[in-house]
Amino acid sequence: MNQTIKHRVKTHKLSDLSEQQINTLLRRTESDIEQFVEQVKPIVAAVKERGDQALADFAQQFDKAPITADQIQVSEQEFDQAFAQLDSELIDTLKYSVDNVRRFHEAQMPEEMWLKEIRPGAFAGDRYTPIEAVACYIPRGKGSFPSVAIMTTVPAVVAGVPTAAIITPPGPDGTVDAATLVVARLVGIHKVYKCGGAQGVAAVAYGTETVPKCDKIVGPGSPFVVAAKKLVADVLDPGTPAGPSEAIVLADETANPKLAALDLLIEAEHGPDSSAFLVTHNEQLATEAADAIQQYWGEMSELRVDFSSTVLGGDSGGIVLTGTFEEAVQFCNDYAAEHLLILSKDPFKHLGKIKNAGEILLGEYTPISIANFVLGPNAVLPTSMAAKTASPLSVFDFMKSCSIGYVTEQGYREMAPHTHRFATYEGFDAHANAVSHLRDEAFDSEK
């Protein structure tokens, strides 16, 4: 660290770009999932046919983990060892994060049931119940992600899911990441299984001797995981896709360029397939932020510099310089970023202008990393423009609602004639008969 590093931060001046070039900036790094689907087909088939033994074989093949079929589920001893392995300060931080995320999702919980009188004597509403069994996928490819464990398991437990399980790849020593196991115990998850990749998805889709069959899976994963989810979507709800990390830092003329640089690097360091833009109309701020990035690269590891410089030096990142702040806002709404940070001395004055984002963070003391780990709102967010129609992971992803209706005789007398006309117009005889004189005659027969 503290090395002198000189990489190019690309500036995209919006007024100089063609429509095609702007569309290139808006486009995310994408994989051809179909090629991965073909590769995972035999893996999924093997797990469906051979269960735990296939999981053990694939753990040895793909994860280089020396585990056997009877070691797929994490034991109580392994949970205890995880607590012993971590220092107390990190455990305190995990507890702090779990507590904040739990508080947020408890506040998010809907009423178990509500009914509203739509017309006199006619009541309608919703009732919420948890999904019976949900698997939380915790990736491990580029590192360990106890934060993902928190963000996926806490809302599952808050929502009351009876069977909430974690599936995650084992390490080369055959163990699960210690912090992930600590999180599981803190949250109250006792079912943790050493099966990642396509084989893990197949395990919860079909069930094995050890791994429970689940109704839904949540959490981010590799293209192989995404492909497997697509392949088993007829038996397992694959949840909302979560792709590579992406962020926009929207800065007005009052923003601190050094803060803009620090915050821009957060999501850019995830990997070369990430996307990260500083969007501003202020040329001086853009120049000073680019200079500051050079300084902060000197404080990062070679791997993270390599990742972030690849992102910020190409078309999936860098600085977007607009003519006006209104154009900057429009670019943000067109982009529909996973993470959007508004840097301004008065960020709330811009909040109402943002229509599309997975999350909106406000001000100089709300860096994306705080939201990723400890703030409370869920950090599993829609990517690849899905924020135009989709929402962050929440308790609602672990529940389903069913409509409730109750009509008294008073309400029936008002609604029956309207229903009869509808049914007659659409040509449904039984629909019409159910609200005709025949129903009155049926009531009379009870007297």
Find the catalytic residue in 105, 281, 339, 350. Answer: 339
Strand runs (DSSP E) across 6-121, as ranges? Answer: 11-13, 113-119
SS3 for 306?
Answer: helix
Which residues have a Cβ under 8 Å from the Cβ of 362 and sit 6 or more positions away?
Answer: 341, 342, 347, 348, 351
The b/e string for 198-214 (b: 16+ C-beta within 10 A; e otherwise) is bbbbbbbbbbbebbebb
Q: What is the 3 state secondary structure string of 71-95?
A: HCECCHHHHHHHHHHCCHHHHHHHH
Rounded Cα distance between 388 and 197, Å, is: 28
SS3 for 379?
Answer: coil
Active site residue 338: yes
Task: Give Dmax over CA atoms of the chain in angstroms.
Answer: 94
Phi, psi of 8 (to 5 degrees): -85, 130
SS3 for 30?
Answer: coil
What percent of the chain is helix, strand and coil (3-state, nearest 5)?
A: 50, 15, 35
- Nearest-CA neighbor of 247 among 278, 286, 285? 278
Find the catalytic residue in 246, 267, 269, 338. Answer: 338
- Nearest-CA neighbor of 207 among 41, 75, 59, 51? 51
The b/e string for 338-369 (b: 16+ C-beta within 10 A; e otherwise) is bbbbbbbeebeebeeebebbbbbbbbbebbbb
Active site residue 281: no
Task: Enter the DSSP assignment of 389.
Answer: T
By residue count, the chain amounts to 447
- Nearest-CA neighbor of 313 among 5, 4, 2, 1? 5
Rounded Cα distance between 166 and 177, Å, is: 12
- Report which residue type is found at 431: H
Catalytic residues: 338-339
